[in-house]
Amino acid sequence: MKKQQTATVPDIFARALDACVPPAGSSVGIALSGGLDSAALLHLALAWAQEHGVALHAFHVHHGLSPNADAWLAHCEQLCAGLGIAFEARRVTLEKNAKTGTEEAARKRRYAALGELCAAHGVRLLLTAHHQDDQAETVLLQLLRGSGTAGLSGMDGANSAPELLGNPDLVMARPLLSVSRKQLEAYVAQHAIAHIHDESNDDPRFARNALRHQVMPVLAQAFPGFQERFARSAQHAQSAQRLLTELATQDLLNCLDGDCIELAKLRELSADRCYNLLRHWFGTRGLRMPSTAWLAEMLAQLLEARPDAQLLVTHPECHVRRHRDRLYLTPKLNDLAGMRERDDAGIPGLEKAGQQFVWKGEASLAFPAYGGVLHFDAVEGEGQGIDVAWLQSQTLTIDFRQGGERLKLALNRPTKSLKYHYQAFDVPAWERERLPLVCAAQQLLYAAGIGLDCHCLSLLERPRVTLRWLSC
């Protein structure tokens, strides 16, 4: 029996790309730092592109963090010029004192810049030089952080990352993920590929560097070939995570009521399925994943509160609210300029008046101080609305409610408080405070979220409009 030949680096690269060939007519982009890994990637991609008739673009991101950054850019430009590969660089500036740290801030700006470059050149497939050792470092780093299956899955062979790249149509592929660093070093040496060395990769203050230089060599001595086994574990975690995502998708579909979750249905699930569902829900909204402890505390508060409780739990990026036994995710919104301070009520000089305006027939008017746009929709046929001529003759006022306002929706229905109407229309309490009213003199014409007062409706066969509010 013939001994099976070990796959070469070009073979591994080509097989990896077979699964993510770009759409016909599109180009392939390469993230080129100039280091050994990306230089090898560039060399491999060129040979593959020439064979398949695909145009290549090499993209370099200049962070300006190193005194050698200009030299690295020049090296990458010269390397691509010598190989006949289209090249473009993008200079980025990092925020000072970034809360996430320099390493994470640089990563986010780098990927954002790469996404912009891909969009500018019609690139649908972006290649990065992540390899097997990088995967092992990622898995170990996530393990040390106490991550779950999503973190322990490491890096995918190919995936979209719109939150990083800013483009949902762009696929980021890692065709060297099955190749070890030693294999890449041998490949670069064999082909005499020029490359630079980033001195920041030697700095042990960065977590990944500390693992690479202080931990991984010790592991390699005690467990030779551990990188491949870590990669296999990552694949198992990826499979488990796909199953968890599939289950969460089914559970979320069963528990959703419009844009919110029915707590009665959530209570039917085990605690683990609840956590899995909620993590998935946060993920679909593009929100930061909460910790297990925070998730457990939030769920306990929401499920154990009394039925009529208007509960609010604060997440770093949103509010989690309970209303009528349903769970809502709402954005954190700044106060609007038109809002009043409750403590200022009745104090001369501090009371805030509404904004007066005259309607001259516009289709819509924007009111930034009240957080939205007021639309004037023409009424067709026998529909009910406000007489256009009358409305144009009035000095109108837009304002937030102060309390005590009442509205009558139809002649055969009683006049009720706005609170009653909000409850009847199931408008949550946190939305009510941001829904304005429109008045003519002292007469309430329209309450956003409810409708027009019947007293202002015209029965005459004349041009009529109805009002509609859209919050921004």
Structural domains of the chain in order of their starting residue, each with its CATH number? 9-222 (3.40.50.620), 239-331 (1.20.59.20), 352-471 (no CATH)
pLDDT tens, position by position, 421-464: 999 999 998 899 999 999 998 899 999 999 999 999 987 889 99
Q: What is the pLDDT of residue 195?
A: 94
> CB-hemisphere CA count at 13 Å for 8?
7
Q: What is the pLDDT of residue 1?
A: 43
Q: What is the pLDDT of residue 25?
A: 67
Residues in the chain: 472
Q: What is the pLDDT of residue 342?
A: 61
Pairing, β 56-62 against β 27-31: parallel
Q: What is the pLDDT of residue 207?
A: 85
Contact 468, 431 (CB under 8 A): no
* Interior angle at CA 187, CA 186 and CA 190, nearest 5: 85
Q: Per DSSP, what are the bridge partners of residue 173?
A: 127, 158
C-alpha 312/C-alpha 319 separation (Å) is 7
Q: What is the pLDDT of residue 83?
A: 94
> Which residues in the chain show pLDDT less than 50?
1-3, 349
pLDDT tens, position by position, 222-237: 999 999 999 999 999 9
C-alpha 211/C-alpha 338 separation (Å) is 53
Phi-psi region of 349 (alpha: psi -120 to 50; beta: other; left: phi over 0): left
Q: What is the pLDDT of residue 351?
A: 63
Q: What is the pLDDT of residue 97?
A: 55
Q: What is the pLDDT of residue 391?
A: 96
